[in-house]
Amino acid sequence: MIGLDGENLSIEDVVKVSRDFENVILLENAVRKIKKSREIVENIVDQNKIVYGVNTGFGELAKEKIPYDSIDELQRNLIRSHSCGVGDSLSAEIVRAMMVLRANSLAKGYSGIRLETVNVLIGMLNKKVHPMVPEKGSIGASGDLIPLAHIALSVIGEGNVEYYNETMPTDEGFRRAGITPVKLTAKEGLALINGTQLMTAIGCLALWDAELLLKNAQIAGAMSLEALKGTDQAFRNEIHKVRPHKGQILCAKNLWRLTRESKIIASHRDCPRVQDAYTLRCMPQVFGASKDAFSFVRFILETEINSATDNPLIFPDIGESLSGGNFHGQPLALALDFLGLAIAELGNFSERRIARLVDSSLSELPPFLTEYSGLHSGFMLPQYAAASLASENKILCHPASCDSIPSSANKEDHVSMGAIAALKSLKILENVQRVISIEFMTAAQGLEFHKPLESSPGINAAYAAIREKVPKLEKDRPMYEDMERLCCLVRDGTIVQSVEQSVGKLG
């Protein structure tokens, strides 16, 4: 059970709720805060004060005063009008992450929403009722208005939901799950949709997977190093302590541990080669740079997931409603562009090692890692696939955050495009997972030509996990299924777990 109070939610908690269906509950201090902020909204309505979003229109229509008896209708109209997303539906795990993040932001007690409305959102999470949310439409201005409106649409019993893998109208899903929809009152529609929860949700899940991918990339890099008979001396601590970037030092330690007791490396200790290529020698520096980038993105996300991103914000301690711009997605947009770039570099780096492995003039291995080159093409074409993916990522790395299109009749005259940065980071991640999978498959084939010399214990563990799913290539065969099986091992952490059981947890 994950307790929400708006202050202590972690990225790990978000992953547990979104992927493992962990239940959530409002903590008692959150209940008190929600009730206190709601009292302020009700006082505003009772006293007929003019407050944006409570009794005015929205955006450029804020100058329009709404009559007392139309305030509830205003909130319903807001949700209906903003539910105009396009494209494929987001996955259930992303929608669940959005829901828990929105509930946690509301739990901070600055949104003026009713407790029963928050409880409906939490009830949907716990009973696995997932709104159908189109992936496109957010410009990251007043947060992710359109995607969040589709979630709010289900909260009021409209739109469609997924319930136990079946898509149906929300009222049917609620009936089956025993949930009663909400009739929104003052401020509540705005409280449900003003926020950065789409970009933050995707950011949390993408970062979580990227951190696992970086471990895979280091293991694959060490396996390629062995297959190419590279040296481990570039990983020595003496080198890295005089350029003390934290990520570089940690990755150098990982690579040093991964190559201990390698009979392959020991076999050419005194060979005439002076230095390895950069994709081998500079692994600590390049992997470390991505690791440091991930650390920065983690800091931004950990701050955002426990933030109030509504507008206006209700401050019970001073009895005021203040309008501001906490919904603006710029911190996320910049960080998510950076995340995509840092992930893409892992793929660029990996593809160059794959190319080196299949090039006999560089690898000193059989051409394309087959004993029968000419008659058989061996690993020629997997490198093509990796090159295609790496090149696609170069297009996807164009920053979304450098763009802005004014909206709402120029009231919202600068927008973040953070949702676009988030969505493309997912595509980059998927591409690089496949590139690393191809490197694993290629490097494992390279190791076959060094037998009976043995790899290090860590790389042996990775090799064994690979060979459980993908046999050595003896002669040409379709490899798309092999590549998909290996990609599953990369995504679910099987290879990393096998290695960490041998050498200990990687930093």
Q: Read off the tokens for 402.
A: 């450098």
Quick one: how far is CA 17 from the chain centroid?
14
Helix crossing, 145-155 with 170-177: angle to 10°?
A: 50
**Amino acid found at 9:** L
Determine the Cα–Cα distance for residues 3 and 308; give it in Å rounded to an integer.
17
Spatial neighbors of 452 by CB under 8 A, at least 6 apart, are none
Question: What does each C-alpha distance from 192 to 48, 264, 291 come to in angstroms?
Answer: 22, 59, 34
Q: Which residue in 424, 406, 423 sits closest to 415, CA to CA?
A: 406
Determine the Cα–Cα distance for residues 174 and 232; give it in Å rounded to an integer.
59
Bridge partner list, 407 = 412
Structural contact between residues 322 and 40, judged by C-beta atoms closer than 8 angstroms? no
Structural contact between residues 78 and 58, judged by C-beta atoms closer than 8 angstroms? yes
Structural contact between residues 232 and 262, judged by C-beta atoms closer than 8 angstroms? yes
Quick check: is 52 catalytic? yes
Bridge partner list, 320 = 315
Full DSSP string of 31-52? HHHHHHHHHHHHHHHHTT---T
Full DSSP string of 74-106? HHHHHHHHH---EEEEPPHHHHHHHHHHHHHHH
Spatial neighbors of 377 by CB under 8 A, at least 6 apart, are 368, 370, 476
**Residue of 52, 110, 163, 463 with catalytic role:** 52
Determine the Cα–Cα distance for residues 22 and 401; give it in Å rounded to an integer.
33
Structural contact between residues 30 and 109, judged by C-beta atoms closer than 8 angstroms? yes
Determine the Cα–Cα distance for residues 263 and 254; give it in Å rounded to an integer.
18
Beta strands in 196-304 (DSSP E): none
User: Which residue numbers are catalytic?
Assistant: 52
